Amino acid sequence: MWSHTRSLELLVLVATVAPAELIRVATAFGPGAKAGADRGRAARLGLLGAPAAYLVVTALAVAVAADGGFVPDALTGWRTGALWLPAAVVVGAVLVGAEFAVGAAPRLLDGSGRPRLAVHRGGGAVGGGYAAAVLATAVAEELLYRGLWIGVLHERLHLPVGVAVAVAAVAYAVGHLFFGGLAVVQKTLSGAVFGLLLVASGSLAVPLVAHLVQNAVVVALAVRQEHGARPAGGRAVAG
């Protein structure tokens, strides 16, 4: 049995920052990325490895929290009003446009041309496996960063709820560092919105639905992008 100490709670949070980044880096720059290597196999490993890392780390973190007696209410609250879920669908779709606007800002500011919507996929073909991977990642991220992180920071460590939402949003965003600094800014925005949805609704189901919708829209855009021209400009990132 774990001891009931804040140090354990903080250790669990620190240990769950960006669990998939090592896998993404390894598949992008490891042996599979060298000339003559099977790039398709490396891309598939990265595609499967990222959600697997999130799911395993989330499961272990929740197990430690349960054994240590600090599973927060934010992680277990799922009931919500009828209007919150349609609102979550709208917010999830709008967040794709918001992330695109953030990604397009540098091109607009430096006058380098009119940005067009693009999806940063990190390699690999778009298909059922890609869709399943990004949707599974969304589920794990909401359980982890909204349910566990915000719950522990606010309920157990007694940080103001706004601070807890902000810290969890940054931790979530750091998990997208592989895609560049701009992606971190984009995901900080989305993470903050997901956190506010949790706080306002009192239900983890609301940010989860919003996140799933956001990723589903990105998948649809990725399919369209793969079958057409590959535009450059503001990019949305699934995750």
pLDDT < 50: residue spans in the chain: 1-2, 36, 230-233
Kindly state the DSSP code that residue 116 receives in the 8-state scheme: -
Residue 55: other Cβ atoms inside 10 A: 18
Contact in structure between 121 and 238 (CB atoms under 8 Å): yes
Q: How far is CA 160 from the centre of its chain?
A: 23
What pLDDT score was predicted for residue 232? 46
pLDDT of residue 115: 59
A 10 A CB-CB count for 33 gives: 16
Q: Quote the pLDDT of residue 2.
A: 47
